[in-house]
Amino acid sequence: MTAAESAGRVLRSGPPPGTTYDVTVIGAGVVGAAVARELARHRGLRIALIDAANDVGEGTSKANTAILHTGFDAVPGSLESRLVREGQRLLAAYAAESGIPVEPVGALLVAWDEEQLAALPTLLDKAVRNGYREARIISPDRLRAREPHLGPGALGALDVPGESIICPWTTTLAYATQAVRGGVDLHLDCRVLRVDPSGGRHELTTSRGALRTRYLVNAAGLHADTVDRLLGHDDFTVTPRRGQLIVFDKFARGLVNHILLPVPTALGKGVLVAPTVYGNVLLGPTAEELDDKTATASTAEGIALLREKGRRILPELLDEEVTAVYAGLRAATEHDDYRVSAHKEQRYVTVGGIRSTGLTASLAIAAHVTELLTATGLDLPAARELPPVRMPNLGEASPRPYRRADLIAADPAYGTIVCHCERVTRGEIRDALAATIPPGSPDGLRRRTRARGGRCQGFHCGAQVRELYEEGGESVSG
């Protein structure tokens, strides 16, 4: 069987097929996509990955702090601690194989007062209990030598060299791409309205029609509690916790060498300053408990708070231009740990309460969920290795297409820069529009290429990018 024959479909309209899927994963975020990819390794299963949005990773997965965690600060002994630790190793290896941008910059937890300084040994001990042994407490002098632009008054830091920065968009897209190529049907714009059990299978009523499946995985992120209740469970409630973030211009990148984490307090994990793999600097997030699962707006208060915190951490950062402000919602619950549970009688697995560590843990969560599905009765054929994917490089640490003479010689479209701020070429935009999972909007194109994601936000390239999207969109739709 050729790759084309075995590949799944990507559909944004029309009723789902009348056949019954073996497994359906609700939620095409980083966790759902990872689960679908893991299941796709078992040849012969009919799998659907469905999402209410018009693209993968449109919820919590697209707006986070983009850190590949070591899990040093997890609650020791928790499911999260184990899955983050395992997931970190799995994702680091997967990123290297797939071309997902990762930069192992390391993190420094900076202590700004005596109380925070006194908390560092406890954090060091916690790291060891989480199986992480490379952390060290460093002096203010060493801290300053490593971060010369740090604001005055830092008393020391916990050095966590294993923390990295990663591209969350490419990660989700890589999983979903590999899943679809491995046979998974991806249904977008497909909101689940009702779930009815009927003779050994679930009948899902979706915004696009009926979809039948034998097994069901709920990876619906912010809406995992809602989906859980459709199946009669009331185990947790997702309380969206908004995080607003400010992205500073690429010229700020030289100001910071590590992820600068705050020392966590009773009030939360606090505001960090971190480089991004795209060469910007991120300041955030806020932590606001809300009840509206769509409240992804930034606020004047949030921006002011971040600027105040940022000025203390890295004063010169505030002199740089801001590229973007955005907000994401974390799927926090009333519980301290992930809420992953199997309901054997319903052939159903819930993957709830996956918070900001979900990106790091995603591959380990997927393996765990697959095990739970087996325990629930799913008969898994032997696993195979999926053909590797090679994702377009959005990272500044390795040469982007505009810097590659070999690529331009083979195809001059990689020498035609369309988005000047981010140096995105016509070739990259064309490739994204023709990819296995084409973008569902100009924003989706931005997350795949960075086109119009830079300092001018489209002043120069916006109209042309829109034209390319609209032309390309026509040729790939239908």
Partner 1 sequence: MRRERIVDVLIVGAGPAGLATATGLAAAGAGEVEVVDREQEAGGAARHCAHGGFGRLALTGPQYAERWVAAAVGVGAVLRTGVTVTDWPGSLTVDATSTRGLERITARAVVIATGAHERPRGARLVPGTRPAGVYTTGELQRAVHVHGQRIGTRAVVVGAEPVSFTALDTLRRAGVEVAALVTEHPRHQASRSRAAEARLRQGIPLLTDATVAELLGRGRLSGVRLRHRDGRTAYLPCDTVVFTGDFVPDHELARRAGLPLDPGTRGPAVDGAFRTAERGVFAVGNVLHAAEPARVVAREGVAAAVAVRRYLCDGDWPSASVPLRVTAPLGWVAPNRLTPDEPGDGFTLRTTEFVPHPTLAITQDGRSLYRARHRRPAVPNRPFHVPSGWVDRVDARGGAVRIALAGRADPR
Q: Which of 321, 334, 336, 474 binds partner 1 (CB under 8 A)?
A: 321
Strands (DSSP E) contained in 112-257 are 136-138, 156-160, 164-166, 185-187, 192-197, 202-206, 209-218, 239-248
- Asked if 81 is part of the footprint of partner 1 (rule: CB under 8 A), the reply reads no
Hunting for tokens 């203390």 — which residue is that?
312
Residue 430: CB minimum distance to partner 1, A:
14
Residue 414 and residue 429: Cα distance in Å, rounded?
10
Nearer to partner 1, 115 or 470 (CB): 470
Residue 459: CB minimum distance to partner 1, A:
4
Per-residue interface string for the shown chain with partner 1, residues 16-55, x marking contact by CB under 8 A:
----------------------------------------
Nearer to partner 1, 380 or 417 (CB): 417
Residue 193: CB minimum distance to partner 1, A:
19
CA end-to-end span of the chain: 24
- Asked if 293 is part of the footprint of partner 1 (rule: CB under 8 A), the reply reads no
Helix segments in 192-243, DSSP class H = 224-230
Burial 26-53 (b: 16+ CB within 10 A, else e): bbbbbbbbbbbbbbbbbeebbbbbbbbb
3-state secondary structure of 214: strand
- Asked if 308 is part of the footprint of partner 1 (rule: CB under 8 A), the reply reads no
Residue 206: CB minimum distance to partner 1, A:
20
Q: Which of 7, 287, 305, 325 binds partner 1 (CB under 8 A)?
A: 325
Strands (DSSP E) contained in 391-460 are 417-419, 424-425
Burial 354-366 (b: 16+ CB within 10 A, else e): bbbbbbbbbbbbb
> By CB under 8 A, which span of 76-84, 297-305, 347-355, 359-367 interacts with partner 1?
297-305
Q: Which of 344, 467, 474, 476 binds partner 1 (CB under 8 A)?
A: 467
Residue 21 and residue 189: Cα distance in Å, rounded?
18
Nearer to partner 1, 224 or 245 (CB): 245
> By CB under 8 A, which span of 83-91, 158-166, 267-275, 324-332 interacts with partner 1?
324-332
Binding to partner 1, residues 440-459 (CB under 8 A): 442-443, 455-459
3-state secondary structure of 157: strand
3-state secondary structure of 85: helix
Residue 223: CB minimum distance to partner 1, A:
16
- Asked if 471 is part of the footprint of partner 1 (rule: CB under 8 A), the reply reads no
- Asked if 315 is part of the footprint of partner 1 (rule: CB under 8 A), the reply reads no
- Asked if 364 is part of the footprint of partner 1 (rule: CB under 8 A), the reply reads no
Axis-axis angle for helices 426-433, 462-476 (nearest 10) = 30
CA dist list (Å): 188 to 39, 90, 136, 185: 19, 27, 46, 10
- Listed residue (184, 214, 215, 187) closest to 47, CA to CA: 184
Hunting for tokens 């949030």 — which residue is that?
302
Spatial neighbors of 139 by CB under 8 A, at least 6 apart, are 156
Q: Which of 88, 296, 362, 449 binds partner 1 (CB under 8 A)?
A: 296
Residue 423: CB minimum distance to partner 1, A:
7
Residue 392 and residue 385: Cα distance in Å, rounded?
21
Per-residue interface string for the shown chain with partner 1, residues 240-259, x marking contact by CB under 8 A:
-------x---x--------
Q: Is 207 exposed, middle or buried (0-12, 13-18, 19+ CB in 10 A)?
A: exposed
Residue 347: CB minimum distance to partner 1, A:
34
- Asked if 12 is part of the footprint of partner 1 (rule: CB under 8 A), the reply reads no
CA dist list (Å): 240 to 229, 243, 294, 359: 17, 9, 9, 17
Strands (DSSP E) contained in 398-438 are 417-419, 424-425
Binding to partner 1, residues 391-450 (CB under 8 A): 402-403, 405-406, 408-409, 412-413, 415-417, 420-421, 423, 442-443
Nearer to partner 1, 134 or 459 (CB): 459
CA dist list (Å): 469 to 294, 386, 392: 26, 30, 17
Q: What is the dihedral of CA 315, 321, 327, 333, to 10 degrees?
A: -20
Assess whether 69 carries a catalytic annotation.
yes
Residue 467: CB minimum distance to partner 1, A:
5
Nearer to partner 1, 54 or 237 (CB): 54
Extract the tokens encoding 461. 């390239």
Nearer to partner 1, 43 or 460 (CB): 460
Nearer to partner 1, 201 or 466 (CB): 466
Which one of 42, 69, 187, 368 is the catalytic residue? 69
Binding to partner 1, residues 196-235 (CB under 8 A): none
Q: Which residues bind partner 1 (CB under 8 A)?
A: 247, 251, 294, 296-300, 302-303, 321-326, 402-403, 405-406, 408-409, 412-413, 415-417, 420-421, 423, 442-443, 455-460, 462-464, 466-467
Point out the residues that are catalytic. Answer: 69
